[in-house]
Amino acid sequence: DQQVKQNSPSLSVQEGRISILNCDYTNSMFDYFLWYKKYPAEGPTFLISISSIKDKNEDGRFTVFLNKSAKHLSLHIVPSQPGDSAVYFCAAHTHGSSNTGKLIFGQGTTLQVKP
């Protein structure tokens, strides 16, 4: 049962334009959502996050939107740069005990930004 889904395996955009990466989830108990970026031969790098009590979080060129009623979140990158080309993972945090918990990841979307 895939609780976090990224239905677009790949996305290609022109440099300077907006990149929109989408993510859907099924579990309404998720309390925190994160986006990670991964380059080949490296581990995932934290990009931006959003609490389930908010609907938008912005950090420079990156904005994450959360639509709880639709169980959908999206990552907007504006303007897109060639260095943004990577695999992007959406992850949802589910609470364990004593402030611990685990991340459940989507399958990833490969973003290619063309110069």
Partner 1 sequence: DAGVTQSPTHLIKTRGQHVTLRCSPISGHKSVSWYQQVLGQGPQFIFQYYEKEERGRGNFPDRFSARQFPNYSSELNVNALLLGDSALYLCASSSPGTGTKNIQYFGAGTRLSVL
- For partner 1, the closer of residues 28 and 98 by Cβ is 98
Cβ distance 112 to 17 under 8 Å?
no
Rounded-to-integer distance, Cα 34 and Cα 92, Å: 6
- For partner 1, the closer of residues 14 and 45 by Cβ is 45
- For partner 1, the closer of residues 16 and 31 by Cβ is 31
Query: Of the candidates 101, 112, 113, 114, which one interacts with partner 1 according to CB under 8 A?
Result: 101
| 28 forms part of the interface with partner 1 (CB under 8 A) | no
Which among 101, 112, 103, 33 has a CA at the least distance from the CA of 72? 33
Query: Of the candidates 13, 75, 77, 105, which one interacts with partner 1 according to CB under 8 A?
Result: 105
| 89 forms part of the interface with partner 1 (CB under 8 A) | yes
Rounded-to-integer distance, Cα 25 and Cα 17, Å: 27
| 108 forms part of the interface with partner 1 (CB under 8 A) | yes
Query: Of the candidates 28, 69, 100, 115, which one interacts with partner 1 according to CB under 8 A?
Result: 100
- The count of other CB atoms within 10 Å of the CB of residue 9 is 10
Rounded-to-integer distance, Cα 8 and Cα 110, Å: 8
